[in-house]
Amino acid sequence: MIENLTPRHSWDLLQANPKAVLIDVRTKVEYDFVGHPLNAIHVPWKEAPDWRLNAEFIPRVKQAVSDIAVPVLLLCRSGSRSLAAAEALQEAGFKHLVNVLEGFEGGLDEQKHRGDLGGWRFSQLPWEQS
pTM above 0.75, yes or no: yes
- Model confidence band, residue 66 (pLDDT cutoffs 50, 70, 90): very high
Phi and psi torsions of 24, nearest 5°: -95, 115
The conformation of residue 53, written as its DSSP 8-state character, comes to E
Distance in angstroms (rounded) separating the CA atoms of residues 48 and 45: 10
Q: Specify whether the CB–CB gap between 74 and 84 falls below 8 A.
A: no
User: What is the reported pLDDT for 112?
Assistant: 87
- Top-confidence residue, 67 or 112: 67
Q: What is the pLDDT of residues 14-23, one digit of tens each?
A: 999 999 999 9
- Comparing CA positions, the residue from 82, 2, 101 lying closest to residue 43 is 82
d(CA 103, CA 81): 9
CA dist., res. 23 & res. 41, Å (int) = 5
Instruction: Name the CATH architecture for the domain at 2-45+53-68+75-95+103-125.
Output: 3-Layer(aba) Sandwich (3.40)
What pLDDT was estimated at residue 127?
96
The domain ranges of the chain are: 2-45+53-68+75-95+103-125
Residue 99 near residue 89 (C-beta atoms within 8 A): no
